[in-house]
A and B are shown apart, each in its own frame.
Chain A
Amino acid sequence: MRTLYYFIALLAFTSCEDVIDLPLEEGPKRLVIDANINWEKGTLGNEQVIRLTETVGFYEQDIPVVSNAIVTISDSSKDYVFVEDGTTGIYRTTSFEPQIDETYTLTIEYNGETFNATESLKSVTDITSVEQSFQNIFGEEVIRVDFNYTDPADEENYYVSVFSSDAYLLNFTRTWSDEFIDGNDDSVFEIDENFEPGNTLTLRFFGVSEQYHNYTELLLQQIESGGPFATPPAAVKGNCINLTNPDSKPLGYFRLSEVVTTPYVIQ
């Protein structure tokens, strides 16, 4: 909504956007735990990946990876050990056993500190169908693709969607709750003026917890902030804690979701 107001302001006047050279101060380095456990519906979900990196200056292109950490996930019965792929900071396992609504605890030991996070694995409903249509935007007919689903009634559901396409570089992520649409038929849609027949468009549809929904909403506000109506920026804080030094909180989130991946080719 705010981006729309921003757009109006841009549209109405001789305004412009300029990329500027703005020197920024750098804060202290922190550990970033990017633990996204995705259980693709219909598969075993035994192969999972966690990446550990460090924070870095805003303009830097290279992200420093964190090697030689010990990464484990535990559930009520088992421990799953993640092994680093060389020195890439990417830790893998092939023995994970995902279960809907099971509670998992992530433990990381690095540099003499221990980090911890707890979450449960959320289910997601199916994508029932995909429809393509045209939407009139500013006089042009733009391709719109709707991925339909039915929100489960009488339960609180939170969703994240990620669209990726060969028509553009950066993925488009959204998050929402079923507050206004509980039990209804709804769709996740994507519209882009660059879409052409033959382009691929893939939707990854995640079921998430309320906490993760709030986290992602805030995170997306930080990257989509635009114009004078932007929500003022804030620190995005995840569910990971530093047991050794509670004041030095790691960034990132430990999330477990069921995912439905739906590829589509634009007609």
Chain B
Amino acid sequence: MLNKTTSNGLLSVPLLSTVKQKKMRLKKIIILFLILFGSSVSAQETYTVSGVVKEKSSGETLIGVAIIFKEQQKGTTTNGYGFYSITLPAGEYTIDVSYLGYKTIQKTIRLGSSSKHNFDLEFSSEEIEEVVVKSNNNIISLKKPEMSVHKVAVSTIKEMPVVLGEVDIIKSIQLLPGVTSAGEGASGFNVRGGAEDQNLILLDEATLYSSSHFFGFFSIFNADAIKDIKLYKGGIPAKYGGRVASVLDIHQKDGNKQEHHLTGGIGLISSRLMAEGPIEKGKSSYLVAGRGSYAHLFLKLNPETKSNSLSFYDLNAKLNFDLDDNNHLYFSGYFGRDAFNIGNLFVNSYGNSTFNLRWNHLYSDKLFSNLSLIYSEYNYFLNLDFIGMDWVSGIKNFQFKYDFKNYVSDNFSLSYGLGAIQYHFNPGEITPSKENSAVNPGKLEQKYAIEPAVYIEAEQTLNDKFSVNYGLRVSSFYRMGGQNIYSYENDEPITFNETFGIYEEGTVSGSTYYKKGEVIKDFYGLEPRFAISYKANASNAFKLNYNRLYQYIHLISNTVSAAPLDVWAPSGSFIEPQILDQYAAGYYHNFEDGVYSLETEVYYKDIQNRLDYRDGADLIAEDQIETIVLPGKSRSYGLELSLKKNKGNFKGWISYTLSNTEQQVKGSTPGATGINNGAWYKAAYHKLHDISITTSYLLSESWKFGANFVYQSGKPTTYPTGQFTTNIGGNYNDPGDNISVPIYGNRNQFNMPSYHHVDIAATFTPKQDPKRRWRSEWVFSVYNLYNRRNAASINFRQNEETGANEAVKTSIFGVTPSFTYNFKF
């Protein structure tokens, strides 16, 4: 190769040294360019092997299947739609197609032209299979710069013991290093010290705005309908953007293309049923799954609680069409709701809905594309009969995404695409709900925005040891009109009252009306993504990554854990986007021939423009969010360790995370104190230590056991440092007239007691008659085996009977046994 480029006559002219130097430089640049980009350019012809990998009995495409060329130690994986493509020089190759839980297929192919090879994998639970799969997976995983990411098998999640027997994807990912929750009663999850609103939650490419039912007690995902779950904690590929802490990318099953099946389960709290099957055998399928709770029925048994109901339900639907070899069409939908009715005095319902249409198109056997058209909505409804008021709020969006992946060669692939999201935010609309209501109708200013982005990212294998990913996402955000924007005296939406020593709403000095379609404010973000891996040998790898992300919409919440009423606010005249920089480094080691694997990572991240509410902020019906939030910074750093045992009857993993997460809000005007006097304070979801141990033990064909142990340092909190009394009416002799008020010091200075529990589960699978289609299993579980009353919150109040001050701990789950009956027909 070098010889070709150095056939350069100018080297033989020694006298013209500057010209020679220039040519030498040019030569070096050309050589460098060729090394970087030309390694796949060779004199030989190359051909492309591509195809789709499916599960044999159902036709379900499989995500992340390893396609390995063992002798060459090269390989690739199937994408989110089961498609793979790899370009190699002509020759004879042995391919291994492996996936955990399935029999590995080995095939020899002679590559003399570009060809399509589809594979249909069969189930297998044999140990030998697992080791082969693991070692094949390692060939790819150790080499790929992809890091800070976890792929969790739905089958693993289904075996974990959980509260009240409800299989919970969100609780399961909290067992991974770097992932926690803000506690019992807290919805959502926190990744590497990130807030709940910093997670991009995707279900078949559609964005969801909350991931829990019932304040975090249950997740919104029906595990029966889920095919694949991937969580990115860092090293986020350029195709994702909009949230700074993580991406939870969940794919639903497509539906069995061969036979009709019914799968379901009956549990203590809820039951589920899923129907799937072919529309046209082998070519198209449907899937419909529903899940609903019936706890409210139990409430009817008790006369005191009779007129109440608390329930949740979800509906998942999917239609999938293989139009031809190069075109596939998918329609997905999700609808979920939480509904409460407390004596008809308080009626509340909220949840997500999404509908999307996706079209996969293969432009060539090297160029895969997917176009998604998505509608997603989160809405919230409340009726308070006491006051006679109906309240509605929410967020709606339309989105399109066009993603391409070009599998240029076996060493180089390029992903690129574009997309845009259009938002409509309804911060709240009030209507009187009955005739004699004292409430006036009102509508808070509706908000609109558009968020377009383009990206490009390259994945490149430099040589046997080094691989690198590098890319750029260019995102933007246009806050659009159709509303009034207030202006404030001195440009201060929040002022600091020095007399009182508190922050107050600024004085409105006027307002400007922006028409629909007019841009109020625009923002642009350059988001570089970079990752490199060094595969030292067959069992060791080192990786590094850096990424920058922008987040343009913010969840404004002033409760310790986001309540369903919390409002999403877009960046605009007063609120800047959050900007994150994350650096991570990791070391990965497999030993005892893949039986054990060890992963360690350290990370550091800092975020600019992280908002926090000021003291005394009242978020309900707040038209002017800019008057209650203050911009600040946040930072988080930590060490994550996990040790996994992958083989044998006894399997599991231990993960430990040591981390620190804190925020700072400084006063922005002279005399202003900021929050906590501008000193760093612990974020509400900071957890110094987080230990999770999950294990499973296969005793026999009929019995399987699981056990989890979770330990987390207590949540940061604010405790009183004293009290004072006040008497509004002035009857100082009447003890009932005195109010004792707790005095609080700095935000989050103290820690609650630590949180830990052990859970166990046993799954009994009765002997299945191979001739009959009915399959079933019983799952018995006990959550919180030693009945530790973990504090969900500690509050301070006057005792109603004595008037004395006391500290009260609220704990939610004591020892909770349950059972579930699962079936498949």
Contacts and interface: CB of A to CB of B under 8 A. Distances in A.
B739 A173 contact: yes
Interface in A165-216: 168-171, 173, 179-182, 184-187, 189, 204, 206, 211, 214
Contacts of A222: 741-742, 744
Given A57-B722, A228-B810, A139 B306 contact: yes
B342 A234 contact: no
A169 B215 contact: no
Contact of A20 (B295, B340, B744, B808): B808
Nearest to A34: B726
B310 to A, nearest CB: 5
B339 to A, nearest CB: 11
Contacts of B295: 12
A20 B809 contact: yes
A241 B307 contact: no
Interface in B765-821: 789, 792-798, 800-801, 803-814, 816
A34 B727 contact: yes
B185 A55 contact: no
B707 interface: no
B718 interface: yes
A179 B441 CA distance: 11
Interface stretch (A3-11, A70-78, A106-114, A121-129): A3-11
Contact of B500 (A7, A204, A238, A252): A238
B555 interface: no
B723 interface: yes
Contact of A16 (B306, B442, B807, B814): B814
B141 to A, nearest CB: 38
Contacts of B734: 164
B728 A36 contact: yes
A145 B258 CA distance: 66
Interface string B374-390: 00000000000010010
A14 B561 contact: no
A32 B724 contact: yes
Interface residues of A, number: 95
A132 interface: no
A236 interface: yes
A263 B740 CA distance: 24
A88 B345 CA distance: 45
B501 A170 contact: no
Contacts, number: 277
B748 to A, nearest CB: 8
Nearest to A140: B304
B15 interface: no
Contacts of A241: 499
B730 interface: yes
A90 interface: yes
B811 A27 contact: no
Contacts of A237: 500-502
Given A51-B732, A173-B728, A223-B797, A22 B499 contact: no
B744 A226 contact: no
A235 B744 contact: yes
B562 to A, nearest CB: 9
A139 B438 contact: no
Centre residue among A24, A57, A217, A224 by max chain B CB count within 10 A? A24
B509 interface: no
B747 interface: yes
Contact of A15 (B183, B798, B806, B813): B813
Contacts of A253: 726
Given A63-B725, A138-B305, A234 B811 contact: no
A177 to B, nearest CB: 10
A144 to B, nearest CB: 9
A241 B502 CA distance: 12
B737 interface: yes
Given A34-B726, A36-B727, A231-B559, A22 B794 contact: yes
Interface in A32-69: 32, 34, 36, 38, 49, 51, 53, 55-61, 63
Given A223-B797, A227-B792, A232-B684, A55 B723 contact: yes
Interface string B489-533: 000000000011110100000000000000000000000000000
25 contacts: A1-B620, A8-B342, A9-B812, A14-B813, A15-B811, A20-B808, A24-B719, A36-B727, A55-B724, A56-B724, A58-B721, A138-B306, A139-B306, A162-B737, A171-B729, A181-B439, A187-B438, A217-B618, A218-B615, A228-B183, A229-B185, A229-B215, A233-B718, A239-B499, A239-B500
Interface of A: 1-2, 4-22, 24-27, 30, 32, 34, 36, 38, 49, 51, 53, 55-61, 63, 90, 135-140, 160, 162, 164, 168-171, 173, 179-182, 184-187, 189, 204, 206, 211, 214, 217-219, 222-239, 241, 249, 251-253
